[in-house]
Structure 1
Amino acid sequence: MTNLLKLKSNEDFDYDPNTLLDCLLNKLHLKNDAALSRALKIGPPVISKIRNRHLPVGASMLIRMQEVSDMNIKELRALMGDKRPKFNEK
């Protein structure tokens, strides 16, 4: 089976969900991914799948991360290397 998150262009190569997860661990003063999964109210396998790039960080996950961390969505997207423009940006 091919990787779920196949990258299509060179600008996507900066995508790294681990940076985002590590920053959340640090900001929330958590020791490990199990503690992060409890804070986000998701199962530990979800964090593992995100770290291993088998599951993308979706919109609902970003919203939950924003609620728990008080960081805005733009900051969270930047941390994971998402450089796609917004709809209203030119």
Structure 2
Amino acid sequence: MLKITATPEQIQSNNDLIDLAIERAKVKNDAVLSRLMKVAPPVISKIRHGRLAVGSTLMLVIHEVTGMLISDIRRFVPR
């Protein structure tokens, strides 16, 4: 997993991605999403706080759990 230093805009984009994933997966919160994605809850927290980048593996997991298109997920991920 790649550690990053995120700008406020990137952090907001990460939060928007996680919020959309929660909505699309029809779950209540980050903890339930993390269980559904089979990742530890701190992974979601680190993404939200800009301490962890959303890599290709996490993009695929979000796609599998939510049905979101990879191209839609990539819009939230800074390059």
TM-score range (shorter-chain normalised) is 0.7 to 0.9
Query: Structure 2 regions of 5+ residues with no counterpart?
Result: none
The structure where helix makes up a greater share of residues is: 2
Instruction: Return the index of the structure with the highest Cα Rg.
Output: 1
Output the CA distance in 1 between the equivalents of 2:6 and 2:66: 28
Give 1:4's aligned residue: 4
Output the CA distance in 1 between the equivalents of 2:41 and 2:29: 10
Are 1:29 and 2:26 counterparts? yes
**Shift in Å, 1:5:** 2.6
Are 1:41 and 2:4 counterparts? no
Query: Structure 1 regions of 5+ residues with no counterpart?
Result: 8-12, 85-90
Output the CA distance in 1 between the equivalents of 2:73 and 2:27: 17
The secondary structure found in structure 1 opposite 2:45 is helix
CA 1:51 to 1:6, structure 2 compared with 1: closer, same or farther past 3 Å? closer
Output the CA distance in 2 between the equivalents of 1:81 and 1:46: 15
Aligned 8 A contact 2:6 2:50 in 1: no
Output the CA distance in 2 between the equivalents of 1:38 and 1:63: 15
Give 2:48's aligned residue: 51
Hey, which bits of structure 1, 4+ residues long, moved more than 6 A? none
Alignment: residue pair count: 75
What is the RMSD of the two structures over their aligned residues, measured on CA atoms?
1.9
